């Protein structure tokens, strides 16, 4: 994303991922982590090079019929330098792989590592200085130029480290002088190692470029009051980012919707799509149910990219829950469905139809002291039940369709008008999945699955899974799956009332939920819309 796409600000610093401050001459956190990973690779490379030096001088060189003047001198001191350099390189590489690795500290350590490597190279180079001054370019030049390209740091730090590294050849000559070896005069040293210092100055250029790019990335990630921190999902209509509020340090999830990715053929169509997104986001922002994901903010960048800022949650979606842990007991399913109905009922009362109710869009999380707290996602792409929606525009694309085939109501699959009862059909499919760990209809492609939703009669979930379910719960699910919308429950409130009457041996309560999360839940991934980004549209 370029500068023209920014919702720019002029603050001298921006908050870091954890709420701290990021200097303008430093890279964003994710780019720092990438640089740290490259540092680890570079450390292994240098360890390998010194290892090759040991093998070449102790194994290969004795086998070559070459006079000593054609060989690089390699004595015991070189062996010591090589062993110490290998050990230091391995230690640094291992540190960069630790979870506790601080990227900024690692990159500062890299500068010291560069100088130490240059010192080792300088000592080896100048062990017999008279034989190496005859027009050979020092390996330190390669080191000085390579480091800032692969492991960037601030220009000031880079210049200081590069000048120190460039001075290691003269330092090697000084060491040789202390050993009593005849060394060249001062003028010869300056003339032969002037390229080292030229390279040290040039090394600031890639560092400056990387810093400027980092600054551009930093500004490009500022959307209104939010700064993008880390990409957590990418789908057919855009991207989802972990973000933080610039003033409050509040974590959020940012969904970017790019018109060119959702079938807009020209600018006017893109503008119409963005306008509909804006209208529907305004409607969704008024949803107040605690079981609906909270929409913090929305807006549009200069390049026409629309974005939603939503809350981050700690937990996992129902699709992942069943895939990891299998079918759920009926008492827990009732507990989950009640909360989902609370969210859908409010949306339906406001004339909004979700149109993509599915396990991946229902998130089970820990919220404060609550466990198994349900949040319904993706209310940024709803439809007015008495009006056209942005999803109708999207359907003009040959590659995209609304909804998800496994949970799509027959009237939606047939291209007919839909209302709130399409969401209730999908909720019945979700309940079926939770109780059986199986889809209502199985098929080898989306088209055949849609045909089954239109024509085939579902097998009762208890019979399908070979389990005994509360009779009232099973009848309710089968009512939700009736082909004719008139035969289904008329509202989410009606489903909620029926769920209250389901006879359970032991209701699912907070003590049981807390026990489950402590034993099986572990730490969830606080990214409630990562899955959503992959399922905003399905290929047909």
The sign one gets for the Cα dihedral 475, 479, 481, 482 is positive
Q: Decide: residue 234, CB within 10 A, 0-12 exposed, 13-18 middle, 19+ buried.
A: middle
Cβ–Cβ < 8 Å for 4, 302? yes
How far apart, in whole angstroms, are the C-alpha atoms of residue 7 and residue 226?
A: 10
How far apart, in whole angstroms, are the C-alpha atoms of residue 128 and residue 173?
A: 9
Which tokens in the block code for residue 271? 């503008």
How far apart, in whole angstroms, are the C-alpha atoms of residue 121 and residue 85?
A: 10
How far apart, in whole angstroms, are the C-alpha atoms of residue 400 and residue 405?
A: 12
Catalytic position from the list 30, 169, 317, 356:
356
User: Which candidate, 90, 87, 399, 377, places its Cα nearest to that of 237?
Assistant: 399
Concerning whether 356 is annotated as a catalytic residue, the answer is yes
Rounded-to-10 torsion of CA 199, 205, 210, 212: 160
Collapse the DSSP code of 297 into the 3-class scheme (helix H, G, I; strand E, B; otherwise coil) and give the result: strand
Counting every residue, how long is the chain? Answer: 540
Our measurement of the distance from residue 451's CA atom to the centroid of its chain's CA atoms, rounded to an integer in Å, reads 36
Per the DSSP assignment, residues forming a β-bridge with 314 are 366
Neighbours of 207 (CB within 10 A): 24
How far apart, in whole angstroms, are the C-alpha atoms of residue 499 and residue 502?
A: 5
Residue with tokens 């080896």: 124
Q: Decide: residue 59, CB within 10 A, 0-12 exposed, 13-18 middle, 19+ buried.
A: exposed
Residues whose CB is less than 8 angstroms from the CB of residue 107 and which lie 6 or more positions away in sequence, other chains included: 32, 35, 36, 39, 151, 152, 153
User: Which candidate, 318, 321, 328, 389, places its Cα nearest to that of 353?
Assistant: 389
Q: Which residues are catalytic?
A: 356
């Amino acid at each position: 994303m370029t500068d023209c796409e920014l919702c720019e600000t002029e603050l001298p610093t921006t908050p870091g991922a954890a709420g701290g401050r990021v200097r303008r001459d430093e890279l964003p956190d994710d780019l720092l982590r990438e640089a740290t990973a490259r540092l680890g690779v570079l450390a292994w490379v240098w360890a390998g090079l010194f290892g090759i030096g040991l093998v070449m001088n102790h194994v290969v060189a004795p086998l070559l019929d070459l006079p000593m003047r054609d060989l690089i001198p390699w004595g015991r001191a070189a062996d010591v330098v090589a062993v110490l350099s290998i050990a230091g390189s391995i230690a640094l590489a291992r540190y960069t792989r630790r979870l506790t690795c601080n990227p900024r500290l690692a990159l500062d350590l890299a500068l010291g590592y560069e100088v130490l490597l240059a010192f080792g190279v300088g000592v080896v180079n100048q062990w017999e200085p008279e034989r190496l001054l005859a027009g050979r370019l020092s390996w330190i030049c390669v080191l000085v130029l390579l480091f800032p390209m692969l492991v960037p740091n601030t220009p000031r730090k880079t210049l200081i480290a590069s000048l120190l590294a460039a001075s290691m050849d003269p330092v090697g000559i000084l060491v040789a002088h202390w050993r009593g070896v005849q060394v060249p005069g001062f003028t010869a040293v300056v003339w032969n190692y002037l390229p080292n210092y030229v390279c040290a100055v040039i090394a600031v250029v890639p560092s400056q470029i990387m810093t400027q790019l980092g600054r551009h990335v930093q500004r490009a990630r500022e959307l209104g009051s939010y700064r993008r921190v880390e990409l957590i999902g990418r789908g057919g209509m855009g991207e989802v980012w972990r973000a933080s509020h610039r003033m409050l340090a509040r974590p959020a999830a940012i969904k970017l919707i790019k018109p060119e990715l959702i079938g807009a053929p020209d600018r006017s169509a893109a503008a119409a799509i963005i306008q509909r997104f804006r209208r529907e986001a305004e409607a969704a922002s008024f949803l107040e149910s605690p079981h609906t994901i909270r929409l913090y903010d929305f807006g549009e960048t200069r390049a026409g990219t629309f974005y939603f800022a939503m809350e981050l949650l700690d937990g996992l979606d129902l699709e992942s829950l069943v895939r990891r842990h299998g079918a759920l007991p009926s008492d827990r399913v009732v507990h989950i469905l009640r909360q989902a109905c609370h969210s859908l009922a409010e949306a339906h009362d406001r004339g909004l139809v979700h149109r993509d109710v599915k396990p991946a869009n229902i998130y089970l999380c820990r919220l404060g002291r609550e466990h198994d707290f349900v949040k319904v996602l993706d209310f940024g792409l709803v439809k007015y039940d008495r009006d056209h929606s942005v999803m109708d525009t999207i359907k003009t694309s040959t590659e995209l369709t609304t909804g998800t085939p496994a949970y799509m109501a027959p009237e939606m699959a047939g291209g007919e008008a839909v209302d709130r009862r399409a969401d209730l059909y999908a909720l019945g499919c979700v309940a079926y999945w939770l109780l059986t760990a199986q889809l209502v209809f199985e098929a080898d492609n989306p088209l055949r699955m849609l045909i089954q939703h239109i024509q085939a009669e579902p097998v009762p979930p208890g019979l399908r899974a070979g389990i005994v379910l509360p009779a009232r719960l099973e009848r309710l699910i089968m009512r939700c799956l009736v082909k004719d919308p008139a035969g289904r429950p008329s509202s989410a409130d009606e489903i909620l009332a029926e769920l209250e009457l389901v006879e359970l041996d032991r209701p699912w309560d907070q003590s049981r939920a807390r026990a489950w999360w402590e034993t099986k839940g572990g730490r969830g991934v606080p990214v409630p819309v990562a899955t959503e980004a992959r399922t905003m549209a399905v290929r047909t």
